[in-house]
Structure 1
Amino acid sequence: MDKTSQIKMLQEMGFSESQAQEALAASGYELNKAIAYLFGEVEGSAGAGTQQSPFEVESAQNDQLDSVSISNPHEIPDFLGSYASNMPLDEVRHYDRPMSSDSFDHSTESLRIRDETFKENLAEAPVSSYSSSMSTSSSEADIPGSFLDEEYPENVKTDLQNVPVILSKQRDLRCWVPLLLILAHSGSFAKPILESASDVPFVQEVQRMVYFVQNFDNSKRWYHSMDELASQLEYEAPRGSYHDEEMVLNMIEYMMKKEPALRPVFESLVHSSDEEVNKELTVLEIESDSRASTLYDKLNELFWQQDFEYLGRIKYTSVAPIVTYQVIADGHSSCVPFQLQEVVYPEIYSDKALGRVREELHSMKKAEMDYQTSTRKLMDLNFFEGKKIDGLLSQTAAALSETNSDAADNILDLGKLIQDCRVVEIENQDRAKIDSSSQKLFSFEEIIRDVPELRPYKLIGVIFSESKYLLRVKDAWIDMEVGVTIDFTSVRSIVESCRGPHLITLVYGDAKENDSTTISAFGLENNAKTENNAESEVTSIANPVTSEKPANISDPTDQEPIQTHVTTGSRPDHQHSAPKSDIRGGDSEFSNTRHIYAASNLEINGEELVQNKAPENYTPKDEPVKRPRWADAIKASGPQDAENADSCQKVNIIHVNPKVVQQFLQDEEKISNAAV
């Protein structure tokens, strides 16, 4: 085998080219000895392993009695390369379930090379790609979650990047990326974060990230780095993989600890009348051995039991704006496919719907009694003293036909009347069977219609692993692993097709609160004015978008003004599905939006920052700005929908901390200066 083939084989095992060359040179280009050298079975020294001073691998003492020496290392399967990476042994042993295929990427290409692939088709999600190259630094191998020796790609957004992305070099912190990116699109999460005046560095970094996502249309960047956030995470902060069943709960708990305003966003309260206690519920786990086919089926069992004996005894006293469920399958027990629901109503399990549920349950029990009554009537109409009535009447009519034809005709007429009665009772029985079925209660269609104060919760994100997750942006779904838009039918199909050991995290958000969010970058002194303007102007995304342009922040490229007032609105009962397509697009994929300037002042660190001041020669006619059309999917509902329903919808106004706006402008200015 020549040198090139030897180097290639060592690279396939997970070693870098420089490591392979060094090992081969130290071993006299003998592959077996080179492998032993790389795995540390001998101590490298000057001249050791060369033709002049060879060493014998077989002479090494084998202290492990349950292992054997490898005589054909070139036939070692490639999967061993994943364990020749920087991952410490403790971290490998931490995973108590099999690793999914998307947990590691055995490619040694850098993030810069992956950026080119991302620009072509967004086929590789750089937020969670792993490097399997083995580091020669012992200190890096000993530090959990050490930074990979890679460079970030160029952070200048083009028309090809329509989705905000979060990148992380630190492997064990990539678990934060899917959750934070999903939450950053939620108004329920963005409001307490962006309004916070916390001086905690972790909270401030999350603010930068959330505001970047919310204001992505007007950003010059296409991704946000996790480096600053990673530097602010304490050692006890959650890190690792989604294979850890407690990972999502620990991350949410950590965020609530750092920012107490997030506690009511994630924490629901469940009351048990038997124990007279209120319990906080942040993440509800659904185990494989007890999970049902739908979320409602499982919640019915948890809150009411199968025979509804706990109805009213265990209930929600408050439902947080964001509720999280985890569907777990350990692979040891069989489980039914999970049918995903796009919209759920958790408040059905609260006092809001308790009276209506009891009425429905009473109706079900009455229908069950009607079903039993119809069943007995059918028995009576079919049998008489153990004999079939039809046969008995036919025999009797035949016997009387010669002696008394009128009586025979009457008997036949009686048989027809009995048959008609059977048809009626069969219809009653079928109707009672449907009304008495628990499946009718599990759908809750009538209860949702009769109790309008129940809040709908839309699915806003599905997480499978650090790289595989689905993100909802407005009413479009994006598969972040492959970078394409999909509809909810595809999302449901992906979830239902999961087999074997898996852990699926479902994040639901209050649809009314998320779909009526206004982000305002005005100072606190202008909040009242902003609120009044927003309530009168904001009804749906079809309305103009207000943007403000800072006056004292230089903009070398002189591009579009920074958007600091974003409005979204849609009716929660409208169902939209975006066609499956690549999220990239050219000029034809963008729509024009009119900008309106308003004046306000921000005082930051003692300096007055004048914002939103329109140019002297500015006229409010068309000033087109490019926006991705997929982001305006709900515009299809039309302005008439806004006039009918959304005009009465309460606007959720977010008053962004001025320091967050200033930091965003500084980040944008850095990109502009770097481009120059």
Structure 2
Amino acid sequence: MATHTHTFRITNHIIIMTMDKVRRLQEMGFSEEQAVSALKLSNNVFEVAIGYLFGEPIDQPPPATVENKENTQIVPYKDTVGVSNPQDIPDLSLLGDSATNNVQWGNFEDDNLLDTYENEYVENNGDNDDNDDDDEDDGVPVNNHYPRQDSPETAFDFPAGFLREQGGVPAVLPSELSRPQSRILALLVVLSQIESLREVIFSKKFDYEFDENWFTPKVSNEDDNDEVSEEEQDKENLYRFVVEVQRIFGFLSPVSKRAFISGDSLCKVIPDDYEDDIWEDAIKKVQLLLSLGSKNVLEKDITTYFENEVECNDEERTGLTVLQMDYDTRGSNLQEGLDTLFWESELRPVFTKVAPYLTIQLYNDEDVYQSQQFEVPEYFYPGVYSDTYQPLITKMNHKRLNAHKERSSITTKLLSLSSFEGKKIKKIIQNSVDYLATTEETAAHDDLRNLSEKMKDETNALNERIRIVGQDYSKMDTKNHANILQEIENEGLELPEKYVLTGVVISDNEYFYKTKQLSQYEKEEWVFTTIDSVYGKVSDYRTETMNFDAVQSFVLEETKVNNRQLVLFYTAESYTKGNAEIPDTLAEFFAKDNELLENQAEERTSTSETQEMELDDEEEEEVKSDTNLEDESSVTS
């Protein structure tokens, strides 16, 4: 499996220790939540945490006794446990009550708390920060030892990682996570590989002025002109939104050699006028901005790409851009959830129109301790839930019901032919035939023998009939959608279109999307992106390609163990075909950027070689100096 990884870390000793162990556990296949939980339960002992994750219990030493004076407590607590490795436990007393379950093990919002920690660290290390030019102790900067929340190190502080490795998959990073804009950015990245949408976004050329720092996070400046009306400002933001979306779509292709870029230029033109914690609003905002931008800037109408229509109880029709399923409805797989939603509801909903881009939001239940795993199909046919095929499905259900009744009736007849009042009729008749054969009652013998043969023939006929009815009963099972498709074909109707899974969003820092142009391997058409943060600021990321089975396994595990919500993107198969071409102006922009990257890489290589040569020269001079000293010492002796 091709993997492209970038990691950047700050130098705080507690976070380095924790994040490194969390990363190592994640590389072994465990999730971040599992790794953090195991490290906490094992008192941050890596080997014990591994054993715990593989099912081994964590042995705790017995509580301290009076004889054990080292661990004797002045005030005994019944809910305490012994600690086997106190020397390895970091001092977290300064973290207060704000410790969380994330990889940082703490969220610091009090500047006084930060100052207290930094001052105590300086005092304990015999240094102070009175002199700004001398704030290091043994080569470790004090300010980096405990970075403030507003200035942790980020991926953009390490230029050596800017060049995309061969086979590497690019990433678009927000500056901060868990914000409305970061959610929108994740959704746009997932949608970026749909060919029909790429064709629309690339349909117009824009003049891109090349800036060497275009890819870095931009500081938000309040430079809006007060004389510009709100309407004009909205138009300008919408135009800039389309331009930035086109550049991001272009970047997420082989035309660029850059490994990652910031999404800030896009995020700062997105209105922040909806609730932070509602994914539904983020999805609708993306659909609205893409529709408005395409219509007003690109002169393309893609409103119908997102609009579904549902009718309930043969009454009023309702527009629907996001199909939502709560935890109780969604079941163990998508088909089961949709069957329940459409065919078991009192509202009797049906699709009257299915959009080419079908977005499905699956809610989780925070009150459930361990949820049921959820299986995501690689494709399905949402048209079976439309009004077009409801008469046929109703007909199939009636046929299945009739088949069930007939099968019950045949079963009853078979039972009546084989036994009566608990006695086996066939055996009795056969015994009678055998007995009469030894007597002179020829007529009675022949009559019973004919009756026996007739019963056998009737039994065989009923068995054959029940076999046929059983096949019909199975074919009319609408829970198996292959039966519906076969019946549609048998009736000479047009088959519904196949919808292909193109994206899965778990959160704004974990998502999958399907791509053909970014993967080197035919069977690894999926990209998994995970983004890490420190104090809310994005610090590192990882992208890797995989096949659908790996995506399925990940989703099954996440929904079962961590009770996660999901946003699924299904696209009509005909809308996934094509080969959108990047505009010439955008291709020229990335050509300049690629040249810049290559020049920077050459400069770094040259600088590194020069530093190595200088280091060799210094070592050679030291050797010569040591040799001279030894010669002088020998002469003196």
Give the TM-score of the pair, scaled to structure 2: 0.56
**Tell me, what secondary structure is at the counterpart of 2:526?**
strand
The RMSD of aligned alpha carbons is 4.5
1:264 aligns with 2:304: yes
Q: 1:515 aligns to what?
A: 577
1:102-251 counterparts in 2 under 5 A? Answer: 104=103, 137=148, 140=149, 148-152=152-156, 153-154=158-159, 156-173=162-179, 174-195=182-203, 199-200=236-237, 201-213=240-252, 216-236=253-273, 244=277, 246-247=278-279, 249-251=280-282
> Which residue identity is paired with 1:518?
A
C-alpha deviation, 1:458, in angstroms: 0.7
Give distance in 1, aligned partners of 2:325 and 2:511: 18
Cα–Cα, structure 1 residues 171 and 222, in superposed 2: closer, same or farther, change >3 Å? same
C-alpha deviation, 1:477, in angstroms: 2.2
**Rg: which structure is higher?**
2
CA deviations on 1:444-498 (whole Å, 9 max, x unpaired) are 3315655545221111122333443332113612333564433222322332334
Cα–Cα, structure 1 residues 394 and 662, in superposed 2: closer, same or farther, change >3 Å? same
Percentage identity across aligned positions? 20
Q: 2:55 aligns to what?
A: none
**Tell me, what secondary structure is at the counterpart of 1:446?**
helix
Give distance in 1, aligned partners of 2:529 and 2:16: 29
CA deviations on 1:111-167 (whole Å, 9 max, x unpaired) are xxxxxxxxxxxxxxxxxxxxxx99664xx5xxxxx5643242436545534322222
> Which residue identity is paired with 1:150?
T
> Which residue identity is paired with 2:485?
E
1:8-23 counterparts in 2 under 5 A? Answer: 12=17
Q: 2:411 aligns to what?
A: 375
Q: 2:329 aligns to what?
A: 290
Give distance in 2, aligned partners of 1:79 and 1:490: 36
Q: 1:557 aligns to what?
A: none
Give distance in 2, aligned partners of 1:82 and 1:512: 59
Determine if contact 2:169/2:544 at 8 Å carries over to the other structure. Answer: no
C-alpha deviation, 1:343, in angstroms: 0.8
> Which residue identity is paired with 1:254?
K
Cα–Cα, structure 1 residues 165 and 495, in superposed 2: closer, same or farther, change >3 Å? same
Q: 1:532 aligns to what?
A: none
C-alpha deviation, 1:76, in angstroms: 11
Give distance in 2, aligned partners of 1:83 and 1:494: 36
Give distance in 1, aligned partners of 2:370 and 2:495: 38
Q: Which has the higher contact order (CA 8 A, sep 6+)?
A: 2
Determine if contact 2:502/2:569 at 8 Å carries over to the other structure. Answer: yes
Q: 2:384 aligns to what?
A: 348
Determine if contact 1:163/1:222 at 8 Å carries over to the other structure. Answer: yes
Q: 2:456 aligns to what?
A: 416
Cα–Cα, structure 1 residues 207 and 338, in superposed 2: closer, same or farther, change >3 Å? same
Give distance in 1, aligned partners of 2:164 and 2:393: 53
Give distance in 1, aligned partners of 2:153 and 2:381: 47
1:491 aligns with 2:551: yes
Q: 2:68 aligns to what?
A: none
Q: 2:470 aligns to what?
A: 430
Cα–Cα, structure 1 residues 229 and 420, in superposed 2: closer, same or farther, change >3 Å? same
Give distance in 1, aligned partners of 2:249 and 2:481: 39
Cα–Cα, structure 1 residues 106 and 280, in superposed 2: closer, same or farther, change >3 Å? same
Cα–Cα, structure 1 residues 147 and 208, in superposed 2: closer, same or farther, change >3 Å? farther
> Which residue identity is paired with 2:188?
L
Give distance in 2, aligned partners of 1:463 and 1:505: 5
**Tell me, what secondary structure is at the counterpart of 2:361?**
strand
**Tell me, what secondary structure is at the counterpart of 1:512?**
helix
Q: 2:529 aligns to what?
A: 480
Determine if contact 1:352/1:454 at 8 Å carries over to the other structure. Answer: no
1:460 aligns with 2:502: yes
Q: 2:564 aligns to what?
A: 502
Determine if contact 2:503/2:512 at 8 Å carries over to the other structure. Answer: yes
Give distance in 2, aligned partners of 1:210 and 1:503: 26
Give distance in 2, aligned partners of 1:170 and 1:391: 82
Q: 1:276 aligns to what?
A: 316
Determine if contact 1:303/1:314 at 8 Å carries over to the other structure. Answer: yes
**Tell me, what secondary structure is at the counterpart of 2:551?**
helix
Cα–Cα, structure 1 residues 236 and 383, in superposed 2: closer, same or farther, change >3 Å? same
Cα–Cα, structure 1 residues 372 and 452, in superposed 2: closer, same or farther, change >3 Å? same
Determine if contact 2:417/2:455 at 8 Å carries over to the other structure. Answer: no
Cα–Cα, structure 1 residues 369 and 469, in superposed 2: closer, same or farther, change >3 Å? same
Give distance in 2, aligned partners of 1:256 and 1:76: 54
CA deviations on 1:221-258 (whole Å, 9 max, x unpaired) are 2222223234334444665xxxx5x32x2222222343
C-alpha deviation, 1:293, in angstroms: 3.1
> Which residue identity is paired with 2:285?
Y
Determine if contact 2:14/2:90 at 8 Å carries over to the other structure. Answer: no
C-alpha deviation, 1:434, in angstroms: 1.4
Give the TM-score of the pair, scaled to structure 1: 0.53
Equivalent residue pairs, number: 427
Give distance in 2, aligned partners of 1:300 and 1:467: 31
Cα–Cα, structure 1 residues 369 and 415, in superposed 2: closer, same or farther, change >3 Å? closer
Give distance in 2, aligned partners of 1:165 and 1:78: 36
Give distance in 1, aligned partners of 2:290 and 2:15: 48
CA deviations on 1:347-385 (whole Å, 9 max, x unpaired) are 222234334434433433343343233333323333446
**Tell me, what secondary structure is at the counterpart of 1:519?**
coil
Give distance in 2, aligned partners of 1:343 and 1:235: 34
CA deviations on 1:399-438 (whole Å, 9 max, x unpaired) are 5343444345334434533442343244134324313434
**Tell me, what secondary structure is at the counterpart of 1:209?**
helix
Give distance in 2, aligned partners of 1:256 and 1:292: 27
Cα–Cα, structure 1 residues 477 and 520, in superposed 2: closer, same or farther, change >3 Å? closer
Determine if contact 2:504/2:567 at 8 Å carries over to the other structure. Answer: yes
Cα–Cα, structure 1 residues 415 and 331, in superposed 2: closer, same or farther, change >3 Å? same
Determine if contact 2:407/2:466 at 8 Å carries over to the other structure. Answer: no
Give distance in 1, aligned partners of 2:415 and 2:511: 56
Q: 2:426 aligns to what?
A: 390
Cα–Cα, structure 1 residues 202 and 520, in superposed 2: closer, same or farther, change >3 Å? closer
**Tell me, what secondary structure is at the counterpart of 2:364?**
strand
**Tell me, what secondary structure is at the counterpart of 1:502?**
coil
Determine if contact 1:269/1:278 at 8 Å carries over to the other structure. Answer: yes
1:578-617 counterparts in 2 under 5 A? Answer: none
Determine if contact 1:188/1:509 at 8 Å carries over to the other structure. Answer: no
C-alpha deviation, 1:340, in angstroms: 2.2
Give distance in 2, aligned partners of 1:432 and 1:345: 23
Give distance in 1, aligned partners of 2:321 and 2:90: 40
